[in-house]
Amino acid sequence: MRHPDRPAPFAYAEDSGKPAGFIVDVTDEAAKRLGLKVDYKSTSVTGSLAGLTAGQYDLASSGLGVTEERQKSVDFTKPLFWSTVTVLTTSKSTISTFDGFNGKRVGVVTGSSQEAQLPTRIPKAQPVRFQAQNAAVSQLLNGSIDAFLVGGPDATEFMKQYKGLRQAVSAPVDHPTSMAVPKNHTAFLKALDKEIGAMVADGTYAKLYRKYFTTQPQPELLAAWPALKTQFPGAK
């Protein structure tokens, strides 16, 4: 299952409509090793989680932050990525701290992990909620909001697309990014984790990581998968 609105690198639709991205590649490789065929469906973050609990989907592979609240309703694979949270603003702004956006109109995507982080990161922000990232970026560019709180890799891709955007401030998050499965699908979850571990061990994961990311893995991801330390010798 892919997310229709996210830019590269996690999960997005090519011009042809074909799903692509880091999490999609990981999903395809794991499915191949398990002898499974993936039937991708477009949905939102909230739609994917609701679909898992309703039995509509078997897997959410858009790259979800593993939050305590989400763990109440779904189970997650072992970490696939460790991200950062970024305040995306325009080049006209000179603010460079989280606190600097207190009192400002800050966009978040409904149901995203960034929405949950906003009260902690920018406690006095004026939240403006969107159903999709592209809508938030459009409103940021036309001045309707002052900033957009979003995952670091997504922010990087938006800055590549729109030269009028800049990163005001960024910080590591306290949770990994993973795929999610319905509660009590223990056998499927174990099978996925086993294949992800095999991909890490044989270098496939590192190859896919380098295809989409130029930054080194965060220390927390290296701690989760010690084999990556030798595959990314410059990472700390």
DSSP 161-185: H-TTEEEEEEEEEEEEEEEEEETT-
Q: Which of 205, 226, 152 is nearest to 28 (CA)?
A: 205
Cβ-in-10-Å burial (0-12, 13-18, 19+) of 236 comes to: exposed
| CB of 63 closer than 8 Å to CB of 10 | yes
| CA dist., res. 174 & res. 49, Å (int) | 20
Question: What are the phi and psi torsion angles at 70 (to 5°)?
Answer: -70, -30
Spell out a b/e string for 141-172, using b for 16 or more CB atoms within 10 Å of the CB, else e: eeeebbbbbbbbbbbbbbbeebeebbbbbbee
pLDDT recorded at residue 1: 40
Beta strand pairing call for 165-182 and 74-76: antiparallel
Digit-by-digit pLDDT tens for the chain (236 residues) are 434 444 558 888 888 888 899 999 999 999 999 999 999 998 888 899 999 999 999 999 988 889 888 999 999 999 999 989 999 999 999 999 999 999 999 999 998 889 999 999 999 999 999 998 999 999 999 999 999 999 988 899 899 999 999 999 999 888 899 999 999 999 999 999 999 999 999 999 999 999 988 888 999 999 999 999 999 987 76
**In this structure, which amino acid lies at residue 20?**
A
Residues 6+ apart with CB under 8 A from 26: 61, 80, 179, 196, 199, 205, 208
Listed residue (232, 176, 234, 236) closest to 203, CA to CA: 232
Whether the CB-CB separation of 192 and 76 falls below 8 Å is answered with no
